[in-house]
Amino acid sequence: MNMTITHPVPRGTRIRVQQVIAMRDRRWTTTVEGEVLSHEMEPTGSWYARGKDDRLWLLRIRLKKANGEITTICLDRFSTITLLDSLSI
């Protein structure tokens, strides 16, 4: 089951996140699988965000991969989330 990124993903759910990066005549696809640790909007720490109240917000998901590595992914409109555990929701 594929989900749009507007739906919250419950903690503990195993998912696959696929992202597509398109540039001119090239297209890269990357896929990461893991257990959801968190899924929330967070402000950036970017210098161009100007000030505390003028920050850019990104939808971030933290995953724990099978090897124990924890990774953070910034989701965008080109991200696809596939549930690997159908019993989690």
Q: How far is it, in rounded angstroms, from Cα 78 to Cα 21?
A: 8
pTM (2 d.p.): 0.74
**CATH no., domain 2-83:** 2.30.30
Q: Hey, what amino acid is at 31? A: T
pLDDT digits (tens, 9 = 90+) for 19-64: 988 888 888 999 999 999 998 888 776 655 555 556 677 889 999 9
Round to the nearest angstrom and report the end-to-end CA distance of the chain: 11
**87-40-47 Cα angle (round to 5):** 155
